[in-house]
Amino acid sequence: MIMSEKIIIFDTTLRDGEQAPGASLNVFEKVEIAKQMERLNVDVIEAGFPVSSQAQFEAVQRIANSVGTIIAGLARTVDADINACQKALNGADRSRIHTFIGTSDIHLKGKFGADRYGKSLKEKRKTILKMACDAVQHAKTFTNDVEFSPEDAGRTDIGYLAEIVEAVIDVGATTVNIPDTTGYTMPEEFSAKIVELRNKVTNIDQAVISVHCHNDLGLAVANSLGAIANGARQVECTINGIGERAGNASMEEIVMALNVRSNYWDYYTNIKTEEIYNTSRMVSGFTGMLVQPNKAIVGENAFAHESGIHQDGMLKNRDTYEIMTPESVGIINNKIVLGRHSGRHGLSVRFKALGYEVAEEEMGHLYERFLELADKKKEIYDEDLRVLMGDEAESDQGFYNLDYLHVNLGTTTIATATVRINSEGKTFEESATGDGPVDACFRAINRAIDFQSQTKLEHYQVRSVTAGKGALGEVTVRLKIDGSAYTGKGISTDTIRASAKSYLQALNHYEAMKDMNEVFETISETV
């Protein structure tokens, strides 16, 4: 009898997932997600890119000190990057340094076009190979668990790819990751590349083969599963498939494909599938990136049956149209309803069941906000609590905080908004008119903080995120500031207030990323 083989789940939601336009997370949110990842039982959490900013460093450090899972930090093949990883990961029970460098001809001619890397392509390849080996050796002085990624492996010459993979394994890499960085490769093509590497790399049995697939052509999951079938034993993926551009391979889809089709695959994961839904909703709530209704596994319609034929079949036998149960991924239909008379203990227990660990000192403030909401809504559902927790994570965390909002409007008057903003101990108050109350709010905010950068509102969406009378409304905005996109999310029973909060959150993400980009650009000059 052939024993099933374990597939290592390497979650990069907090690193690559956060690179989705506008999906910036603060330290508190990252730590909460990491704790939920531990409950989900992922094998490796890639916590961030420590050298890129102080906020990134702090987040990786906090996560390393908070969870027992293997914590990975990303580093370019630069000593400063690797040293920053080591310092950030110092408190981890188990740590991994993940170093990478571009290897495709496109990357070598573009990113490494300067003559100091070599004048010919042959010389550049030699330089990059040495940089990769030096980085792995340097990382090995800090930890035995070192992963190497040849960036854009999907478009890298197979001969050179095999050469560099063999070389880094020879100097100590324990995991070699093969990324389809641009989502360019077809499933058969990507599978064949894994087979070729296994055949060409003489020491391949000394390292775990990993894959990291992007979804530019909608093939990330298919490419990942094909790679598993041909020898990969680690998959790098994200919750809800979030990530740069079109996103990454979706963790929940890969895990459930292996789980549901256990009759087809001789592989398994250690993922606690009943925690998938909670994790999905937590990531969605904190990032402000909505899960599309028809998203496999965790979408709102994933287990909905509207067709009469389907409904009839389901009533007679659920197996007729359901290949998995909602309960298997943590969707519970008989939700507990809380109200004003619910106590702190009951609220705390419910938060824990949803994946949130609330410290005793934080519970007092959160309970007060719960009671305020209960006065308006009467009945509080799980989604209300998720929203409340996500909103709490943003309160008093940003560079700009809304202290006061007043709006005048009517059928015969021009909409006018007055705002008072707190920022780093200073208070700013301004009024402005606009085409409507929301436009007036945004203009007043810009005037109050004297925001000078070129700003364009690219997206504005209002939706009801909870049920019942007095339902919470969520406003999501996406701002284009200095050429980059920043997403903000605001929650309130008052849509205009939610709009103001979402706008400020987007500005806060801009301020947080501004320093990060400045540091990153400075470091890039040394590569």
DSSP string covering 352-379, please?
HHTT----HHHHHHHHHHHHHHHHHHSS
Q: What is the mean pLDDT of the chain?
A: 87
Q: Which of 215-219, 446-450, 486-490, 513-517 has the lowest mean pLDDT?
A: 513-517
Residues belonging to the chain: 527
CA distances from 316 to 206, 260, 293, 309 (A): 52, 21, 26, 11
CA distances from 443 to 205, 279, 416, 432, 439 (A): 61, 36, 10, 6, 6
Structure tokens at 119: 């004048």
Task: Give per-residue pLDDT as tens, 373-382.
Answer: 777 666 777 7
Q: What is the mean pLDDT of residues 75-95?
A: 97
Does 99 or 292 have the greater pLDDT score? Answer: 99
Which amino acid does the sequence have at 425? G
Q: Is the pLDDT of residue 470 over 90?
A: no
Q: What is the mean pLDDT of residues 103-125?
A: 95
Residue 17: closest CA among 334, 397, 284, 230: 284
Residues 405, 382: Cα–Cα separation, whole Å: 29
Residues 112, 127: Cα–Cα separation, whole Å: 10
pLDDT, residue 491, reads 79
Residue 276: closest CA among 292, 307, 243, 299: 299
Q: Is the pLDDT of residue 51 over 60?
A: yes
Residues 193, 212: Cα–Cα separation, whole Å: 13
User: pTM of this prediction?
Assistant: 0.80
- What are all long-range contacts of 103-111, with beta carbons under 8 Å and residues at least 24 apart? 103/128, 103/150, 103/151, 103/152, 103/153, 103/156, 103/160, 103/161, 103/164, 104/151, 104/152, 104/153, 104/154, 104/155, 104/156, 104/157, 105/155, 105/156, 105/157, 106/152, 106/155, 107/151, 107/152
Phi-psi region of 505 (alpha: psi -120 to 50; beta: other; left: phi over 0): alpha
Structure tokens at 146: 């070192």
SS3 185: coil
Task: State the pLDDT confidence band at 78, using cuts at 50, 70 and 90.
Answer: very high
Q: What is the mean pLDDT of residues 102-114?
A: 94
Task: State the pLDDT confidence band at 343, using cuts at 50, 70 and 90.
Answer: confident
Residues 254, 215: Cα–Cα separation, whole Å: 13
Residues 97, 175: Cα–Cα separation, whole Å: 10
Name 212's bridge partners. Answer: 179, 236
Structure tokens at 417: 């908004």
CA distances from 264 to 5, 308, 458 (A): 13, 31, 45
Q: What is the mean pLDDT of residues 182-211?
A: 97
Residues 397, 27: Cα–Cα separation, whole Å: 10
Q: What is the mean pLDDT of residues 452-461?
A: 85
Residues 87, 84: Cα–Cα separation, whole Å: 5
Residue 509: closest CA among 479, 483, 466: 479
Task: Give per-residue pLDDT as tens, 167-179.
Answer: 999 999 999 999 9
pLDDT, residue 453, reads 81
Q: Which of 220-229, 280-289, 347-356 has the lowest mean pLDDT?
A: 347-356
Q: Which of 165-174, 361-370, 465-474 has the lowest mean pLDDT?
A: 465-474
Task: Give per-residue pLDDT as tens, 240-250.
Answer: 999 999 999 99
Residue 354: closest CA among 335, 372, 326, 376: 335
Residues 485, 394: Cα–Cα separation, whole Å: 19
Structure tokens at 506: 């987007």
b (16+ CB within 10 A) / e for 83-104: bbbbbbbeebeebbbbbbbbbb
Helix (H) or strand (E) holding 221: helix 220-229
First to last CA, the chain: 51
